[in-house]
Structure 1
Amino acid sequence: MTGAVVAGLAVVALVLLWQLRAIGRSRHPVRRGVRALVVVAVLFVLVFANAYHALSTVDAGAFSEPLDRLDAAYFAVTVFATVGFGDIAPVTGAARLAVTVQMCGGVVLVGGVARLVVRAVAERRRRISGQDG
């Protein structure tokens, strides 16, 4: 499972780079920036939903209840949104580690990636307006 999460996060990083390049060429950088944030966030959550489902399939006791795909997606969204209803909770060390990685990654995604996208949009808007000479 660890390899799948690492591979999934590598895909998220590559998609982010592709989206940043697309913003730099877009005629509508704000729209493209919003799209980039949505695509990267959804992909990030799906990586962890898949990991939670796989973990629950291998060890039914990893979470407070076994997770099917929908439960895993729901749990990944609640972790990302920092809602934490408490209806599903990680029980084993592996599950807690996966959730901790998602929480830390979510903070980086919301703060760092949003900042990168906003900068790319601002730079593209500046170039479109002809202020760079």
Structure 2
Amino acid sequence: MSVALRPIGTATALVLAYYLLPLNERFEGSTAVGLVLGLAAVAALFTWQIRSILRSSRPRLRAVEALATTVPLFLLLFAATYYLLDQAEPGGFTEPLGRTDSLYFALTVFSTVGFGDIAPRAESARIVTMAQMAGDILLVGVAAHVVVGAVQSALARDPSTAPGGARGSGGTGRG
């Protein structure tokens, strides 16, 4: 049970950090560079997590942990960017964005729901939103495929982790 709580704890800690970290900087060139570096860090973290899945004796659990870290981190990175962008360029969105509004907008873009209550007006806001849309497609399509492939490779390498595999005294093979 405690192992299952780790992904929830990680996602919760990331959201708390988003709300607690000071975001006072204006969105300028350095902030755009920060977004690019943040996305590179997410990609590096994801690569490390895939390797971890491949080496794990519980690849399914590691896959859940990987997604519970990567997806919130990706979304919070964009939420922080939207927040900073709105602070630097008031009127860049159809309404002022606080932290929750920025996170809400990032989630509606990610989920492709697009209620239309918040929309980018300024060109810079539209560029960042388009970057998130492209990243969303990669994250959902490519990253999910890579995670599933890593889990399958790990299970093929170690038959004891597959359902019904020999785990000794009553193991379930879950993980």
Query: Contact 1:33–1:121 (CA<8 Å) still a contact in 2?
Result: yes
| TM-score of the pair, normalised by structure 1 | 0.94
Identity of aligned residues (%): 46
Once residues 113 and 120 of structure 2 are traced to their aligned partners in structure 1, the CA distance between those partners, rounded to angstroms, is: 15
2:123 counterpart (89, 93, 103):
93
1:128 counterpart (150, 158, 171):
158
Once residues 8 and 106 of structure 1 are traced to their aligned partners in structure 2, the CA distance between those partners, rounded to angstroms, is: 15
1:69 counterpart (86, 94, 99):
99
Q: Amino acid of the residue matched to residue 115 of structure 2?
A: F
Query: Contact 1:4–1:51 (CA<8 Å) still a contact in 2?
Result: no
- The reply to whether residue 55 of structure 1 matches residue 93 of structure 2 is no
Contiguous gaps of at least 5 residues in structure 2: 1-30, 161-175
Q: Amino acid of the residue matched to residue 146 of structure 2?
A: L
| TM-score of the pair, normalised by structure 2 | 0.72
Residue of structure 1 equivalent to 2:146: 116
Once residues 32 and 80 of structure 2 are traced to their aligned partners in structure 1, the CA distance between those partners, rounded to angstroms, is: 11
1:64-85: CA deviation from partner (whole Å, max 9, x where unpaired): 1111111101110110011101
Once residues 67 and 129 of structure 1 are traced to their aligned partners in structure 2, the CA distance between those partners, rounded to angstroms, is: 50
Q: Secondary structure at the match of 2:97?
A: coil
Give the total of aligned pairs.
130
Q: Amino acid of the residue matched to residue 45 of structure 1?
A: L
- The reply to whether residue 30 of structure 1 matches residue 78 of structure 2 is no
Q: Amino acid of the residue matched to residue 3 of structure 1?
A: V
Structure 1 residue 11: Cα displacement = 1.0
Once residues 151 and 77 of structure 2 are traced to their aligned partners in structure 1, the CA distance between those partners, rounded to angstroms, is: 26
Q: Amino acid of the residue matched to residue 16 of structure 1?
A: F
From the two aligned structures, give the one with the greater helix fraction. 1
Query: Contact 1:23–1:121 (CA<8 Å) still a contact in 2?
Result: yes
Structure 1 residue 37: Cα displacement = 1.8
1:44-82: CA deviation from partner (whole Å, max 9, x where unpaired): 101100100000010111101111111101110110011
Structure 1 residue 36: Cα displacement = 1.1
Q: Secondary structure at the match of 1:61?
A: coil
Which runs of 4 or more aligned residues in structure 1 lie more than 4 Å from their structure 2 counterparts after TM superposition? none
Structure 1 residue 38: Cα displacement = 2.4
